[in-house]
Structure 1
Amino acid sequence: MNNEDDWEYSINLPHNPLAVGVARGALRLILRAHGLGELLVTAELLASELVTNAHVHAPGPSCLRVKRSEKWLRLSVWDTSSEPPRLPRPCGVDREEGRGMGIVEELADRWGHYSLGAPVLRGKLVWCELGGG
């Protein structure tokens, strides 16, 4: 049985630093269109970190998927690297990089990753969920 409030969008992103802003803008439009403005700030930050991580650590394109079920909002990013994401090492307060997955761990209700080794799609998928139902 499919709930009409369940939906999914996928946004293919080139390996370009501008892709992070494009992903954020698309996510804003999607969440506002579906009346989920209360999730916007947190979801936008999570998507930014996942897409930035893909851009920094993978040599190719990525894809942001935004999926809603009646109980949660899931953001996932596929990229071309098979290396799993790493949580940040302790670092000084003035360090600007390397904190993305720590932010994801702190803000998401759940998150994880898995490698893809299929002939058609290789790389990894990193996902996080926010309650919202």
Structure 2
Amino acid sequence: MFELIMCIDDDPITMMLCKKVITKSLFSNEIISAQNGEVALQHFNELKYLSKGKGFKSPQLIFLDLNMPIMGGWEFLDHFNTAEYSDFNSIKIIVLSSTIDPEDLERARTYPMVIDFLSKPISIAMLEYVKNKLE
């Protein structure tokens, strides 16, 4: 079981389903969410600030949607893969997308923190697969 995971997705129904499935499967103790990549980066910027004191708790895993307004998944990955966010190198990312475009699969492989590219919607079987992959 994970202590803390993050879901980055702009669709409230997808987010609700994600939280329900994760909670039901006892996959994580706590789930935080962001409706786009920009909000997620703001969260990590706050964590960097907090890490200088106490209360630093970083997600161990991120479920990331690709197509979002303001800042999509690819833009988030481009920023998150820079030295500015090197404190978070150990966080694993799973791209969750409604389309499985072979070009997207190839592009996802270029980011060292992306460990898989899975099709929406999230399911208990998918979480079992992820848990086994990370053990």
One fold, TM greater than 0.5?
no
Identify, as 1 or 2, the structure richer in strand: 1
Identify, as 1 or 2, the structure richer in helix: 2
Q: TM-score, normalised by structure 2?
A: 0.30
Q: TM-score, normalised by structure 1?
A: 0.30
